[in-house]
Amino acid sequence: MSAKILIVAEHDGTRLNVSTAKCVSCARAVAGAEITVVVCAAAAAPLAAQAAQIAGVARVLTVENPANAHALAAVLAPQLAALAAPFNLILGPSTTFGKDLMARIAGLLGAPQVSDIMALESATRFRRPIYAGNAILTVEADGAARVVGTVRMASFEAAGGGGAAAIEKAAVSAELPTHTRFISVSAAKSDRPDLQTAAKVISGGRALGSAEGFRILYSLADKIGAAVGASRAAVDAGFAPNEMQVGQTGKIIAPELYVAIGISGAIQHLTGIKDARTIVAINKDGEAPIFEVADFGLVGDLFQIIPEIEKLV
């Protein structure tokens, strides 16, 4: 019997998030899996069309409802739980959207959830990091009828395009609560690449000293087409907004190039960058733990080094 896998699409109302194609890659690790993507939205058609193009997707289900205009877990979970019956595995991305939502679905189903799947060995056997990535655990769902999972974004490449899946409207009858209401979201608009998908990321730590100090990073980032990240210390101090935080409690990223500037390299920070292809560390303390994971280390004062680099690139 081939595994039936349902993937919950993430989107902003007009564009599908790349996390959806990464979940598809994860699901494709199960040989012969039948992959369905479900799009919950106020207007699902344009999003469904994008999902149908992802290679490996057999079917796209749409659930349209004005209440789905904003991704509220309490509103989405009952609709998705109502669709879950035919599926063995229900996956969503391990982004704040997916982490918030999938566990609520698991709760409604009484199903076990596997968080942060980094490898899928079968439809019931998974590998995932625990203790901030300091141990890797293999878990097996023993005879559970249904398993819910969130997919660790840094572990999978997005599935390609070229698919042509059938699109169907799903009929869902679930009572939707009104006890949770969306008020607003403040997203700083930026022309820089998205931190989670950028090929190059430059991150700054406490050493930058101020929001002003971060300007030298923005300037270098713009010159080389990089996204900018930050350590928790830098975010806590108000030098950078929270969505820039990299690490255990921020974003887990896997760029080709990661440059850590004035960041000491606490384990909670390193968790977020373990999968980066090349790590560069610039720090005035030659003993800083960041150098233990850096492919290239440069000891010195960042305020002198960064402008030099900018001139050379």
Ligand X SMILES: Cc1cc2nc3c(=O)[nH]c(=O)nc-3n(C[C@H](O)[C@H](O)[C@H](O)COP(=O)(O)OP(=O)(O)OC[C@H]3O[C@@H](n4cnc5c(N)ncnc54)[C@H](O)[C@@H]3O)c2cc1C
Q: Does 94 bind ligand X (CB under 6 A)?
A: no
Checking phi first, is residue 110 left (phi over 0); if not, alpha (psi -120 to 50) or beta? left
Could you identify the residue written with the tokens 């878990």?
A: 139
The angle formed by the CA atoms of residues 97, 131 and 110, to the nearest 5 degrees, is: 50
Which of other proteins, ligand X, none has residue 173 at its interface (CB below 5 to 8 Å by kind)?
none
Could you identify the residue written with the tokens 């660790």?
A: 152
3-state SS class at 299: strand
CB of 162 to ligand X, least distance (A): 36
| Cβ contacts of 144 within 8 Å, gap of 6 or more | 111, 112, 124
Question: In terms of CB distance, is 98 or 205 closer to ligand X?
Answer: 205
Q: Does 173 bind other proteins (CB under 8 A)?
A: no
Q: Does 152 bind ligand X (CB under 6 A)?
A: no
CB of 155 to ligand X, least distance (A): 18
Q: Does 245 bind ligand X (CB under 6 A)?
A: yes
Pick from 134, 276, 289: nearest CA to 205 = 289
For 84-109, letters b (16+ CB in 10 Å) and e give: beebbbbbbbbbebbbbbbbbbbebb
Only segment of 2-10, 33-41, 112-120, 229-237 that touches ligand X (CB under 6 A) = 229-237
Q: How many residues make contact with ligand X (CB under 6 A)?
A: 27
Question: In terms of CB distance, is 65 or 249 closer to ligand X?
Answer: 249
Q: Does 288 bind ligand X (CB under 6 A)?
A: yes
Q: How many residues does the chain have?
A: 313
Q: Does 146 bind ligand X (CB under 6 A)?
A: no
Over the window 214 to 233, marking each residue x when it contacts other proteins by CB under 8 A and - when it does not, the resulting string is ----------x-------x-
Q: Give the interface with ligand X as residue ranges (CB under 6 A).
A: 205-207, 231-234, 245-250, 262-264, 266, 268-269, 272, 283-285, 288, 301-303
